[in-house]
Amino acid sequence: MSRLAALLAAALALAAAASAAPPAAPAPQRICSVSLAGDEMLFLLVPPARVVCVSSFADDREASNVAGRYPATIPRLVARTEPVIATRPDLIVAAPWNDRAFLTGLAALGVPSVTIEPAEDFAGIERALVALGRALGPEAEAKARDQAAAMDARLAALDRALAAVPEAKRPRVLSLSHLVVAGSGTTVDALIRRAGGVNAAAAAGIEGHRKLPTEQILALDPDVLLLGQGLDIDAAAVLRAYPQLEATRAAKGGRVILLPPKLLTTVTPYLVEGAEQLARQLHPEAFR
């Protein structure tokens, strides 16, 4: 066989193999989210017309970054099999904290689902977003990569603004919610560090989210108390509810910062805004 004939035969074989390959699965068109993280990520990746249900927290003004953004015609549901199946979804978007029995039941009924990957920092959020985008189809994956790039750009700008802040001026910050603190391995820890603070709980060896006795919180004695509270509650009201906290260095110095829960506890790209807002309150001089 001549060289030209061999090349032609190879090209024909490749074309035949390509034509024999199974077509790519169509992108899901009826997507149901059963967690707030899913609600927020889906809003960034697909048009609402492809969403057939969102979680019961989607319109919570304090907790949700997409409150009022989904049409009222889309059902707001909890993770229960019957109402979710009634929306006739072709994909369920779940979160790591959803009930495993619920997901097992969906699998038994043959309903596809994808669980958002757990994240401990901004890089983890980006990975989770891109992985979800991949499950939603090529267009959504491209949007996810664009969102990840936008996160990187905003975080880089934040780093540049804080670059001149010396380590000695980076305060020890304690995130506190109903006596639960956020230590290392949490997105709150990533937020505090990226905003130019030192996580007092992580520095004390605390991992994850833990409820501490008041005595241990007082022993941490942070420079700044970071509280997830709505705009209708002020720092004084929180300190009245927990008067023991008035003995901390933060309370004595008037350094009690309130951040909307939706920007403090989210595990989606909206956490970047939380870091930006916290940085401006910790280091206002860096943003003048």
3-state secondary structure the chain: CCHHHHHHHHHHHHHHHHHHCCCCCCCCCCEEECCHHHHHHHHHHCCHHHEEEEECCCCCCCCCCCCCCCCCCCCEECCCHHHHHHCCCCEEEECCCCCHHHHHHHHHCCCCEEECCCCCCHHHHHHHHHHHHHHHCHHHHHHHHHHHHHHHHHHHHHHHHHCCCCHHHCCEEEEEECCEEECECCHHHHHHHHCCCEEHHHHCCCECEEECCHHHHHHHCCCEEEEECCCCCCHHHHHHHCHHHHHCHHHHCCCEEEECHHHHCCCCCCHHHHHHHHHHHHCHHHHC
pLDDT of residue 237: 75
Q: Give the pLDDT score at 149.
A: 98
Per-residue pLDDT at 263: 95
Q: What's the pLDDT score for residue 86? A: 94
Along the 288 residues of the chain, how does pLDDT read in single tens digits?
Answer: 455 455 445 545 554 544 544 556 789 999 999 999 999 999 999 999 999 999 999 999 999 999 999 999 999 999 999 999 999 999 999 999 888 888 888 888 888 999 999 999 999 999 999 999 999 999 999 999 999 999 999 999 999 999 999 999 999 999 998 789 999 999 999 999 999 999 999 999 999 999 999 899 999 999 999 998 766 677 777 777 778 888 899 999 999 999 999 999 999 999 999 999 999 999 999 998
3-state secondary structure 101-158: HHHHHHHHCCCCEEECCCCCCHHHHHHHHHHHHHHHCHHHHHHHHHHHHHHHHHHHHH
Report pLDDT for 7: 42
β-bridge partners, 256: 225
Instruction: Give the global pTM.
Output: 0.87
Pairing of strands 91-94, 180-182: unpaired
> What are the angstrom distances between the C-alpha of 5 and each of 1, 12, 16, 88, 266?
6, 10, 16, 53, 61
pLDDT value of residue 9: 54
* CA 160 vs CA 121, 155, 176, 244, 281: distances in Å: 19, 9, 28, 38, 16
Burial of 104 (0-12, 13-18, 19+ CB in 10 A): exposed
Neighbour-count burial of 26, counting CB atoms closer than 10 A to its CB (0-12 exposed, 13-18 middle, 19+ buried): exposed
> Given the DSSP bridges, would you call strands 31-33 and 91-94 parallel, antiparallel or unpaired?
parallel
Domains, the chain, with CATH or none? 31-152 (3.40.50.1980), 167-287 (3.40.50.1980)
Residue type, 32: C
User: What are the residues facing 175 on neighbouring strands?
Assistant: 226
